[in-house]
Structure 1
Amino acid sequence: MADRGASAPSLPEDWPARPDPILALNRMGSFDWDLDTAQFHLDAQAHSILDLDPEEFDGRPESLASRVPPDEARRIDLLVAQSIKDGSENYGTYFRLRRRDGSLGWAHTQGYIRRDRSGRARRIIGILRDATQELSDSRAHAERADQGEALRRQTNVVESTTAALADARTVRDVIDVLKNSHGLVHLGAASLVVGLVEAGRIRLVAEGPEGSFVPGTRVDEPFPMSEVVRTLSPRFIESPEEFAEQYPTLWPYLTDLRVTSAAYLPLVVQGRPIGAMGLLYDDRHGFTAEERNVLVALGGCIAQSLQRAMFYEQDKDLAQGLQQAMLPRSIPDVTGADIAVRYRSASLGRDIGGDWYDLIPLPGGRVGAVIGDVQGHDTHAAAVMGQLRIVLRAYAAEGHTPATVMARASVFLKELDTDRFATCLYAEVDLSTGVVQLVRAGHPDPLLRLAGGGCRRLPVEGGLPLGLSADFDCLEYPVTTVELDAGQTLLLCTDGMIELPGADLDDGIADLQALVGNGPLDVRDLADQLIDAAEARGGDDDVAVLLLQRRGRSARSGSRLRQRVGPADPEALTEARRTIRSAVRAWGVGERSYEIELVADELITNVLMHTEGPAIVTLRVLAGHDRRLRIEVEDSSSALPRRREAGESGVSGRGLLLVDRLADVWGVEARGGGKVVWCEFMVPRRG
């Protein structure tokens, strides 16, 4: 008998239990088995029944192997384990006993399982008696042995079926287990019928062998499944004649199946019928008491599994509805780009998580692409995700820089008063120029699929996850600027696409790069392939994928950048400087890049200092006989700038002098209620 407990510091104060003297008078022994310490105490009478001297037994269950044959020990272990698992209070069984002289005898044991307040089994107290005399008659002995063997076989059927049902998640999974497992074969059933109670009717979910027809019924109709649902009692039909007499309406449907007997069992959970099950036999006449008990036990196991499956399906429907409500209903069409998004739910829990994606149209031909993951796989994670997605979208639509969007979203998550954090990756793409500004908050790096095939990782300097950065007052999110050429594809995904338990993260990223690099050119086909690969690989995490492919032919001479800088947003000014620097150098303007950056910064600063509104800065490379870079800075003030001389101690007044000295040409244009200050630089052609 296997060791069933882990070491514990001490035994219970009342251990071992004191045997009742009446037990000794009736030649019964007692035992006390502490499951925490694995200590097994036998009293003197129990030692005698097992033919053991006290010094021969050290208190460990496995030390009884000299008296209890291995196959009997395994059977008792399974019985005890099943009783503990089922929540039973007691168990009992006969078992073979090998005495000191090698002769075989019989013993009977009965145990009472004691549990703590949480329901965990902590101790088993029971009795042991010699049953050899009870089974001494050879005929009775053989009959009892045969019955015991048959009962053990049927008990094994229940145990194996119960084990198989443990992994069944849906009602269809439960039915497949019952049809495909060896349980029905061992029980000899030729056909299985299962129905669930729904609104006063029994809906059949398993209808016997292929090609057969068994009608569905109302609960109040005179059919065996209806009867067991109404009475909560099993119905055993032991002959065709009995079947035809008791249920003449149903019998004509079963004559072709050559049914000789049937067992109909109510599926009851917590005193309430959830359905019924029928087992139809073509070679059995009648049921013994043991067979009936086994079938009733089997019905109880199946009822629990079906109830669990029904709850799972209800939760899944709720989760899917909530998930769909939280994710964007549709992705808008974006001029200059092909977009594809996909989502795969987790394989565990409620099949709902905090992964999300979003696409945000922005002014000036720009678009914001978001991928994120809220910690957890439950409805709370989905609810947090929905709120975070909405506010992040609002911050981006207000015109804030990517770094500011991420910082404000982190503060919002902290103020939600939740213990969840979120990782996020935000990409602001100017589709006219291909300039992409990337901000990362604890999220995996994006990938870049090249137009001619192949894929590479885009390293993005990152900050802390959303929520944590606000907690630790580290709201600085560095921006990485890259250029997306026509035909290239930006891939954003959550960690479920690259992570598997026990697998190396770098290997997961390498596998994803190979899959993307060799995948279809069309982003929708590529997205389907990626999500199919995630589905085939399995995993316990949900997956979100967003693909953005820039359309058109590459035309670097038409490069363009547009940026908004708020009047009270120093981070936006800093970010604008970084973006302009990255774009100008990416466009290959040569030695004049510093002059262009300096003039653009001066014009933006003038707007912020002398007007009350934001500055809208646009940089573009003009194609023509000469290659020129044009800077336009728009504001809402109609007052025209004037060039003036600054005094020796003056700190202002040199801005337009600087523009006039560095730019090849500049000017001012009225535009609506405001104006645009512009200038142009002759730049070398890109080699």
Structure 2
Amino acid sequence: MAGILVLRWYLVKSLSGDVVAYRGEGPVTEVGFQSWPSGGKSITDGTTPTLPSPARPTGETGTEDTGRDLQSSNSLFHPSAGPVQAGFFCWDVATGEINCDPSTFRLHGLPEGSPPHLDTFLSRIPESDLPEFVGALQSMAEAGGNYQIAYRIAADGGGWRQLEARGRVLADAAGAPTRMVGVVMDTTAAYERQEAEKRRLYEGATRNRLMQQLTAALAAAVTFRDIMAATQVGLQEFGASGLAVVASQRDGLSVVASYGCHDEELAAVCDADTGACFPLQDALARQAPVFVASVTDLAAAHPQPAQQAAGGSCRAWAAIPMADSRGPIGACLMGFPSPREFGPEERALLVAVAGLLAQSLERAGMYESQHALATELQRGMLHPGPLSAPGLTIAARYQAATSGMRIGGDWYDAICLPDGAVALVIGDVQGHSVHAASLMGKLRTVIHAYTCEGHGPAAVLARTNRLMVEFNPDPDRAMFATCCYLLIRPAEGTLEACTAGHPAPALIAPGEPPRLLDIAGGLPLGVDPQAQYPTERMLIRPGSVLAVTTDGLLEAAGGDIGVAIEAFLAELAGAATADLEVLADELLAGVQRARRRSDDIALLLARLTGPTVR
């Protein structure tokens, strides 16, 4: 990261002797160091250092020639690889004096006549980096051997210059460090390349992460509204401020969905006369992406659309054709608030976003069609209009799920019998699909028929159960249902209750707290053809309210089911005197605020208003 001091050093035991062989990187291939004289003088004779021949181990041919070259040169340093942007130095650890050549001063931005002392060079290092730099020097001096350290100095034109020093720490006979000799090189270009590569990798990782998030959001979205909301959030992360999805139709272009675009911009996009050369039309005509980096670039190719776009909020555009499984369907226009150079990676990413958006919209269209069909099917199977029965005041509600197909198998019914009795039925078929809704319609019809034949609650559920088993010939695809059957005789004030795996109803008698009825119950419908369903009989007073719901209402509260039941009973505390329609809305108000609900809900409230005959 630019602006942060990077310190690296290697503490390696090397061969002893005054001549140290160093193999460098880049232009510097091999550098020889000669022992330094004391006195702390800098090399300022203006001669160009020349690198000596590569140092060879003692005993090899050429050692004598190397020694003669060192003695005959006017400089203490003898480059052998040609001129390089490097300087040579020797730091006396005890005195702090530095012998160096003019290049070392120039690399540090110092005049050649500067005091040859360590403090002079330290003055060029930022104060924030000094403690770590000085600590690294001390550590390297104490450790001895070869070292390498990278640091920065302030550049003349602003910014920073990156330098790197490498060399060897020389010690006396006792092992105490005496001198640090080495070469310093300007590594700014290499450092900037490394930082650019780091930025490229970081930006690529960021794009991948954002793309994964957008893909997951689009996969979870099932409606057009959800898809556009997820796309808006995702494209904002990529810098886009507006989006228009345009469909190709016989009479021209039509905006299917948009956000962040002014009406004038949308009109220019879809108007065949004024926007005929807009990038979107180019993309559709060529069936290839079109990227416009600025209004200036747009004006150079299409003057008229550029005038219209000048008053808009976007200053760069990406127009990308869209296709689904059926073929081309239109295009999307992404707008950016400022001029933008679209690099290869960003272009590929935006094209991928357009592809994901097209697939999501196709899936949403299929979902909407299926949902509309299923909704009509379910609406036709539920009881039409409000429920009513002599001697009872009834309020009923059905709340669809907010995820999946948004349909299910919950139902309710009120069946008036010739003798004045009223059967209140509520049930829940397993699953949330068209199959569950159709099975619910069958069960509702069957229960209605058995009730009208004059069978009691237990017989109705037993016969329905056997028929439900016949509906499940394949055990692997078997479906089950729960049901609560309440037979009320308002004139007598009696109740016969029977349940098949369903939550027990609640009774709220005048002046008494709400309580769940103690009903033995039986297995869900469709499990065991021989299942029996015990019936509980009791008296209920006028003004009493019966409340029964499916498990979707209780599970919507989350947490423990026992806690949910207690909360449900607490909300029924004033039911004996409350308006049942208002109470039903209040009971569903909490779950309606939930963003996602995986189960549908049926609710049935009934107050006994008829006289009681003793």
Give the TM-score of the pair, scaled to structure 1. 0.56
The CA distance in 2 between the partners of 1:331 and 1:198, in whole Å, is 43
Partner residue, 1:536: 593
Separation of aligned partners in 2, 1:248 and 1:314: 43
1:267 is the counterpart of 2:322: yes
Query: Which residue of structure 1 lines up, in the alignment, with residue 258 of structure 2?
Result: 206
Say which of 457, 462, 467 aligns to 2:516. Answer: 457
Select which of 194, 211, 228 maps to 1:175.
228
Q: Distance in 2 between matches of 1:389 and 1:248?
A: 67
- 1:650 is matched with none
The answer for the alignment partner of 1:523 in structure 2 is 580
Give the superposition deviation at 1:309.
3.3
Count residues in correspondence. 421
Secondary structure at 1:330 match in 2: coil
Structure 1 runs (4+) greater than 6 angstroms displaced: 101-104, 136-139, 218-221
CA contact (8 A) 2:393 2:607 kept: yes
For the 8 Å contact 2:246–2:256, the answer to whether it is kept is: yes
Question: In structure 1, what residue type is equivalent to 2:603?
Answer: V
Q: Residue 263 and residue 438 in structure 1: after superposition, are their counterparts in 2 closer, same or farther (change >3 A)?
A: same
Partner of 1:326: 381
- Percent of pairs with identical residues: 34
TM-score of the superposition, structure 2-length normalised? 0.62
Does structure 2 retain, via aligned residues, the 8 Å contact 1:232–1:268? no
Q: Report the equivalent of 1:477.
A: 533
Which residue is 1:400 aligned to? 455
Measure how far apart 1:198 and its partner are. Answer: 6.4
Once the two structures are TM-superposed, the CA of residue 330 in structure 1 deviates from its matched residue by: 2.2
Contact kept in structure 1, 2:558 and 2:564, CA below 8 Å: no
Deviation string 1:45-75 (CA, Å, 9 cap, x unpaired) is: xxxxxxxxxxxxxxxxxxxxxxxxxxxxxxx
Paired with 2:503 and 2:495, the residues of 1 have a C-alpha distance of: 17
Correspondence 1:508 to 2:564: yes
Q: Does the C-alpha gap of structure 1 residues 404 and 258 become closer, same or farther in structure 2, counting only changes over 3 Å?
A: closer
Q: Secondary structure at the match of 2:419?
A: coil
Q: Distance in 2 between matches of 1:385 and 1:351?
A: 15
> Secondary structure at 1:462's aligned position in 2?
coil
| CA gap 1:255/1:466 in 2 versus in 1, 3 angstroms | same
- 1:359: Cα distance to partner? 0.9
Does 1:495 pair with 2:551?
yes
Please tell me whether the aligned partners of residues 280 and 331 of structure 2 are also in contact (alpha carbons under 8 angstroms): yes
Q: 1:261 to 1:349 in 2, by over 3 A?
A: closer
Give 2:526's aligned residue.
467
Return the alpha-carbon distance in structure 2 between the equivalents of residues 401 and 416 of structure 1.
23
Secondary structure of the structure 1 residue equivalent to 2:555 = coil
Can you give the 5+ residue segments of structure 1 that lack an aligned partner in the other structure? Answer: 1-100, 105-135, 560-586, 588-687
Residue among 491, 494, 507 paired with 1:448: 507
Please list the CA deviations of residues 225-250 of structure 1 after superposition, one character each: whole Å capped at 9, or x if unmatched.
34434543211123324434655665
Question: Secondary structure, in 3 states, of the residue corresponding to 1:451?
Answer: coil
Across the aligned residues of Structure 1 and Structure 2, the Cα RMSD in angstroms comes to 3.3
- For 1:546-625, list aligned pairs within 5 A: 546-551=604-609, 555-556=611-612, 559=613, 587=614
Name stretches of at least 5 consecutive residues in structure 2 with no aligned partner.
Answer: 1-146, 151-188
- The partner residue of 2:270 within 214, 217, 226 is 217
Q: Which amino acid aligns with 1:511?
A: A
Aligned mate of 1:427, from 451, 461, 486: 486
Once the two structures are TM-superposed, the CA of residue 463 in structure 1 deviates from its matched residue by 2.0
* Structure 1 residue matching 2:451: 3-state secondary structure: helix
d(CA) in 2 for partners of 1:454 and 1:274? 61
* Distance in 1 (alpha carbons) for counterparts of 2:329 and 2:513: 56
Change in Cα spacing, 1:157 to 1:425, as seen in structure 2 (3 Å) is closer
2-structure distance, mates of 1:343, 1:263: 45
Seen in structure 2, the aligned counterparts of structure 1 residues 205 and 217 have a Cα distance that, compared at 3 Å, is same
> Could you report, residue by residue, the CA deviation over 1:397-419 in whole angstroms, capped at 9, with x for unpaired residues?
12222222112211221222452
Q: CA deviation at 1:341?
A: 0.9
Q: Judging changes above 3 Å, is the alpha-carbon distance between structure 1 residues 469 and 145 closer, same or farther for their aligned structure 2 residues?
A: closer
Measure the CA separation in 2 of the matches of 1:187 and 1:465: 52
1:376 aligned counterpart, secondary structure: coil
Distance 1:453 1:250, change over 3 A: farther
Letter paired with 1:411: R
Q: Report the Cα offset of residue 332 of structure 1.
A: 4.5
Contact 2:253/2:270 (<8 A) preserved: yes
Tell me the amino acid that sits aligned with residue 523 of structure 1: L
Cα deviation 1:396-445 (Å, max 9, x = unaligned): 11222222211221122122245222111111111222211111112111
Question: Distance between the aligned counterparts of 1:400 and 1:450, measured in 2?
Answer: 28
Pair 1:247–1:427, CA change in 2 (3 A): farther
CA contact (8 A) 1:449 1:456 kept: yes
Distance in 1 separating the partners of 2:495 and 2:308? 70
Q: 1:543 to 1:198 in 2, by over 3 A?
A: farther
2:243 to 181, 189, 192: 192
Is 1:353 aligned with 2:408?
Answer: yes
1:62 matched residue in structure 2: none
Quote how far apart the aligned CAs of 1:305 are. Answer: 3.3
Q: Which of the numbers 366, 373, 397 marks the counterpart of 2:421?
A: 366
Task: Judge conservation of contact 1:261–1:282 (CA < 8 Å) in 2.
Answer: yes
2:200 & 2:223 partners in 1: Cα distance? Answer: 36
